[in-house]
Structure 1
């Protein structure tokens, strides 16, 4: 063992259970678990895993919907010094088989109905241990029976760890090829938890409740670590389906004070009539990240919810920890005192630079690649030296996003480097075009992508979704943009769809929009 610089992150749950044994840790549907109950279940799961030969450094694949078992497996993996490898529950069996192969997982927790996923993992030669929730088959073990049959371990049984010991393989969404496993460590995540508490939702205590609207496999799981550290209640939606009415009902019932979401989900919450039927005055921190939030949507959310919006910019690799825009930095007024259009300034202890292609810092106002360094940066991609070399050039982590800093240090994101297209020799950033389209009163959502053009190389195509009960045409959108954008930035085609394609995390990947345009044979 090296110097005593890291605590086992699983002890966040141990400590809170000792301090607040009777406080509600988890609410899911009608069920409630106190911190003492949750911790006892996690400890028995630790004993069961160890008895089956799963321990320090082993990878535990988890393919499950949000629920108590998924939450428990996360904490158990941490406590025994194993590595939690959660998946997006919408992945196919073949995709989950690939993740098992990449991580060389030794155990699998699968939810009911995912037998085919377990078969794909086994066929890949991994996960001799399979725990199944509710529908175990021959050769698998029933999750609740495993817990019931395990003896509690002694107190303070958590594995000793050092700062750089991995505890979570955070799979990137793989927009540029196959997903990569970003290695998160005990020391790094201890910083992230502390920073979230300081910068995103200061003042959280056991009197707070946090509603989970996104999969625990990614940003929402990171968010809940801080809630457990402070003894706040975690509230899960009762079913896999995102039910806006139920979300607002839970906010009122549990006096929810914070929630983590993405702009598309926040827009759905604000647009739904249920927002006016339930009391949401308890909300202090409604955190949104993962994609740009357009100014028109931001204003509507502020009007409905009041001054509780918190924006951050952060990737899995920097674990949600690059910038923050606090509630008092959001404004309905387009006032120069507020950084309108910014995703915030650097998080405490983190450094941001805009670098050119030669790796030189650019001055304020100049666009280049957003790069970052500090204790929230991950330990690298698992067994992927080529990706690591590219990501860590010149002592910075390169995000692949483009943007600029202003003189005060507020960051403005232009878009993914891969989203930018070049039309007739000029760079076009879709974000700017989308902002202009969304000022049309009949447009609810839109996405702009570059598509091959016989004369200009590439030109913009916009896919728009009209607001409920309203209609919009291609001609109306193009007319709306006439005086708002330079000619070369204006899309040449506009298609009207009922909905935009979305990823499992509620984002709108440009690749999926391009695929659908191609499938529908829409060309210039």
Structure 2
């Protein structure tokens, strides 16, 4: 394993399954593994001709397109570092991420991204566009039109220690931290993912998550390609509930992965506009945020497939734990499964490993884990202690070795000395038949130090009120866990991947607490 690179693994797959479909755009394009590999090598030679050297950071800002996939893999093929960026960032956000990553080049789609290009110009970073030409033989064209030579890439040998991917943490509790991930980190992670879900060349999926995020990139895209399987990208370059199942059927999908918010959207779509038929799936995967047991049950009952919840972080190149496939064990609702591919322990504040049922901080170490944040000694000192990476999550192992998460250390609600898990409150709220989405959070309180509030998004057609929610909570939660205030709204702040940010939700509703009507957020 220690000599493996992601680039090497994908080249072997292209040799083993040259004619298998690898990458599609709904209704527009199909590429085999050998065609994709050829595009990657040609694009890598264009980058070398553009002056990109090993170790240089190349920022990429695209929707979910073939151009992004090819350019991402081309960047790491020429031993440079890919830094995917959300195309919805503001000018100021682009300036921060481009500066913090020390990007040497920005690549955007043919239509351009004005905010990204403006930020790059202010930082004197060159920017070019990348376009897939399909008039005859598919090829990538850069707007700078460099003179490339295939031999320039053939002479480059990828090394496991090469930093290949540079991402930032979500920054929900602090300033975003830069996470460098090596070829070995990525190779170890995709191998772990392929193993636990038993991906083969027969598997196919439709990508619903943005590829600038580690969840969609590592599990949906790269692990599928590693297995010789296939992925399809929605024609619009992003998730669409109205076309999702048609794409899944058209491309004979065997599974999909998403965040809880998207699962809930898919369920709501089924309730309002059910499909005539649904594909037979091996499994449905959920990750990046806690999935309430009630939502898990509804997914399984509705679509007839096991729902496997997983636990992941950017610092671990994504996957850390997962519930198993039914043939390999029980997939437990309320747990995030067993560790996958690395060591995991529950440590107390002194770094002592806790026993079964004892709560503490979830810590990991393994080949998929970053060696440390970029230029952030303070964060490294806090996160890397006793030979382990400290995740900041609180959890415990049950007697079967399954991990149960209680919450983030900074998100636990301390009400008069009682440590309350907002995840537990979320689960109860989401079990109400009139609730589509919900999030609990702590707010300052003079008497108890902190109190529990929550925001609730009703299901379509529901007229649920605050008092209905409170009555339900009193029946299903201990009295000290019942929210003091319920905000009925139509949306809450989320990250670009659909993860709810408790801290930002709390800040928003605290600011609006004196208003009679909670304002709507933009989509």
TM-score with structure 2 length normalisation? 0.91
Structure 1 residues 143 and 109 mapped into 2: Cα distance closer, same or farther (>3 Å)? Answer: farther
SS in 1 for 2:298: helix
Q: Residue 138 of structure 1 aligns with which residue?
A: none
Q: Residue 139 of structure 1 aligns with which residue?
A: none
Contact kept? 2:107, 2:128, Cα under 8 Å: yes
SS in 2 for 1:450: strand
Q: Residue 53 of structure 1 aligns with which residue?
A: 51
1:517 shift after superposition: 0.3
Structure 1 residues 213 and 275 mapped into 2: Cα distance closer, same or farther (>3 Å)? Answer: farther
Q: Residue 437 of structure 2 aligns with which residue?
A: 445
Q: Residue 323 of structure 1 aligns with which residue?
A: 321
1:418 shift after superposition: 1.3
1:258 aligns with 2:234: no
Paired with 2:276 and 2:315, the residues of 1 have a C-alpha distance of 37
Paired with 1:401 and 1:99, the residues of 2 have a C-alpha distance of 25
1:221 aligns with 2:179: no
SS in 2 for 1:321: strand
SS in 1 for 2:159: coil
Paired with 2:317 and 2:238, the residues of 1 have a C-alpha distance of 26
1:246 aligns with 2:238: no
1:43 shift after superposition: 1.6
Q: Residue 136 of structure 2 aligns with which residue?
A: none
Paired with 1:156 and 1:175, the residues of 2 have a C-alpha distance of 39
Contact kept? 1:227, 1:234, Cα under 8 Å: yes
Q: Residue 364 of structure 2 aligns with which residue?
A: 372
Q: Residue 304 of structure 2 aligns with which residue?
A: 306
Q: Residue 137 of structure 1 aligns with which residue?
A: none
Paired with 1:350 and 1:108, the residues of 2 have a C-alpha distance of 34
Contact kept? 1:402, 1:417, Cα under 8 Å: yes
2:30 pairs, out of 25, 29, 32, with 32
Paired with 2:276 and 2:370, the residues of 1 have a C-alpha distance of 40
1:467 aligns with 2:466: no
1:221 shift after superposition: 0.9
Greater shift after overlay, 16-25 or 458-467? 16-25
1:324 shift after superposition: 1.0
Contact kept? 1:307, 1:330, Cα under 8 Å: no
Paired with 2:95 and 2:303, the residues of 1 have a C-alpha distance of 42
Structure 1 residues 517 and 23 mapped into 2: Cα distance closer, same or farther (>3 Å)? Answer: same
Contact kept? 2:184, 2:368, Cα under 8 Å: no
Paired with 1:391 and 1:522, the residues of 2 have a C-alpha distance of 39
SS in 1 for 2:405: strand
Q: Residue 94 of structure 2 aligns with which residue?
A: 96
Q: Residue 135 of structure 2 aligns with which residue?
A: none
Q: Residue 448 of structure 2 aligns with which residue?
A: 456
Contact kept? 2:4, 2:184, Cα under 8 Å: yes
Q: Residue 81 of structure 2 aligns with which residue?
A: 83
Structure 1 residues 225 and 275 mapped into 2: Cα distance closer, same or farther (>3 Å)? Answer: farther
Structure 1 residues 401 and 330 mapped into 2: Cα distance closer, same or farther (>3 Å)? Answer: farther
Q: Residue 63 of structure 1 aligns with which residue?
A: 61
Q: Residue 207 of structure 2 aligns with which residue?
A: 212
Q: What 5-or-longer segments of structure 2 have no aligned partner?
A: 132-138, 517-523
1:8-55 deviation per Cα after TM superposition (whole angstroms, max 9, x unaligned): 422334333333333322111312223333222222211111112102
Greater shift after overlay, 296-305 or 479-488? 479-488
1:282 shift after superposition: 3.6
1:343 aligns with 2:342: no
Structure 1 residues 415 and 66 mapped into 2: Cα distance closer, same or farther (>3 Å)? Answer: same
Contact kept? 1:465, 1:496, Cα under 8 Å: yes
Paired with 1:288 and 1:406, the residues of 2 have a C-alpha distance of 21
SS in 1 for 2:24: strand
1:381 pairs, out of 373, 382, 393, with 373
Structure 1 residues 263 and 484 mapped into 2: Cα distance closer, same or farther (>3 Å)? Answer: same
SS in 2 for 1:322: strand
1:6 shift after superposition: 2.7
Q: Residue 196 of structure 1 aligns with which residue?
A: 193
TM-score with structure 1 length normalisation? 0.90
1:340 shift after superposition: 3.5
Q: What 5-or-longer segments of structure 1 have no aligned partner?
A: 135-141, 332-336
1:154-174 deviation per Cα after TM superposition (whole angstroms, max 9, x unaligned): 497163233322100121111
SS in 1 for 2:164: strand
Paired with 2:142 and 2:465, the residues of 1 have a C-alpha distance of 58
Greater shift after overlay, 338-347 or 228-237? 338-347
1:270 shift after superposition: 2.4
Q: Residues 468-507 of structure 1: matches in 2 within 5 Å?
A: 468-507=460-499
Q: Residue 352 of structure 1 aligns with which residue?
A: 344
Greater shift after overlay, 145-154 or 479-488? 145-154
Paired with 2:306 and 2:212, the residues of 1 have a C-alpha distance of 25
Contact kept? 2:48, 2:148, Cα under 8 Å: no
Structure 1 residues 31 and 522 mapped into 2: Cα distance closer, same or farther (>3 Å)? Answer: farther
Structure 1 residues 71 and 294 mapped into 2: Cα distance closer, same or farther (>3 Å)? Answer: same
Structure 1 residues 147 and 409 mapped into 2: Cα distance closer, same or farther (>3 Å)? Answer: farther
Contact kept? 1:45, 1:147, Cα under 8 Å: no
Contact kept? 1:80, 1:158, Cα under 8 Å: no
Paired with 1:12 and 1:217, the residues of 2 have a C-alpha distance of 21
Paired with 1:523 and 1:358, the residues of 2 have a C-alpha distance of 45
SS in 2 for 1:494: strand
Paired with 1:124 and 1:490, the residues of 2 have a C-alpha distance of 50
Paired with 1:432 and 1:410, the residues of 2 have a C-alpha distance of 17
Structure 1 residues 289 and 69 mapped into 2: Cα distance closer, same or farther (>3 Å)? Answer: same
SS in 1 for 2:150: coil
SS in 1 for 2:476: coil
SS in 2 for 1:400: strand
Paired with 1:69 and 1:509, the residues of 2 have a C-alpha distance of 30
Contact kept? 1:8, 1:81, Cα under 8 Å: no
